[in-house]
Amino acid sequence: MVGKHTSQTVVAASTATGSSRIARFFKQLSKQKMLMLMSLPFLIWVLIFKYVPLYGWTIAFQKFRPARDLFNQEWVGLSNFKFLFQEEAFYRVLRNTLVMSSINLVLGFVTAIVLAILLNELRNILFKRTVQTISYLPHFISWVVAANIVQTALAPEGIINILLLKLNLIDQPVLWLGKGEYFWSILGATEVWKNVGWNTIIYLAAITTIDPAQYEAAEIDGASRFQRILHITLPGMKSVIVILLIMNLGHILESGFEPQYLLGNGMNVDYSENLDIFVLKYGMNMGNYGLATAAGMFKTVVSFIFLMAANNIAKRLGESRLY
């Protein structure tokens, strides 16, 4: 065994540099046996739980029957995709997905940046900390709880109707979640309520990297508070804003699943149903696995193209890359 091994190494070394590199690789690997043993279980895990489902994409090209196993399905080519692109409901959920994620994107950005700037202007540190801690709270609670809260607040006898009635803005209670055309605004507001505090974290971190001397110099030059925000704070946050904006543009098909599913109902379904709910409905409820997988695959591939494009734009603009 030993002789064979050495002769192999000699041959490998004498023939090509490529194979000697392989030999060196295995020699190093055997030295790093422990490191390999420590990562091996997770490589197997990722193979099973992340890469095997990718093979499941083949279902998109099959007329899938759950009774048969994965290898004995009937291949139908692109007919699932053809059906999908002819389906009117698909365009409706695509519209809902794009509109809701755009609303979330714009609202999420503007509110978080404004709140970060306003927090930075607070002079009392204890007060600032308190506001921050409280503002993080909704991020940590579940969407089930958040949906419960929203539903309670928007109920006919809920706090929103009570306040609006007292302010004489409406004559009688409005069934907010029963009207589809309100759904997008409700969802946008809910997302802001839940995540605005959390989203300020990264902007506040960017603000702390700004040199305080800049503010002092501006003050000596007689710059007003508003001018300082406009010419020092905002430019200091610029690169973070650009990176996050681009990154989020790459996630434009990810409008979320839980809030739409939990707040959606029969009366607002035309506005609340998005791609993920479409996949769930066609796949799990109707058992059309092929069509649901095709829709899911469409989403992943388009998302990836968006993300790549976004990354390229970021590079071209001279901002640091995302990953």
Beta bridge partners of 62: 75
Using the structure block, give the residue that is written with the tokens 């479409």: 278
Residue 3 or 222: the one with the smaller Cβ distance to other proteins is 222
Query: What gap in Å lies between CA 159 and CA 3, rounded to an integer?
Result: 84
Radius of gyration of the chain (CA): 27
Q: How far is the CB of 201 from other proteins (least distance, A)?
A: 5
User: Tokens representing 12?
Assistant: 């490998």
How many separate helices (H) and strands (E) can be counted in the chain? 17, 2
Residue 100 or 243: the one with the smaller Cβ distance to other proteins is 243
Helix segments in 157-233, DSSP class H = 159-166, 180-208, 212-220, 225-228
* Polymer length of the chain: 323
Residue 153 or 164: the one with the smaller Cβ distance to other proteins is 153
Q: How far is the CB of 3 from other proteins (least distance, A)?
A: 26
Query: What gap in Å lies between CA 135 and CA 195, rounded to an integer?
Result: 8
Residue 86 or 285: the one with the smaller Cβ distance to other proteins is 285
Beta bridge partners of 63: 74
Residue 184 or 289: the one with the smaller Cβ distance to other proteins is 289
User: Tokens representing 10?
Assistant: 């000699």
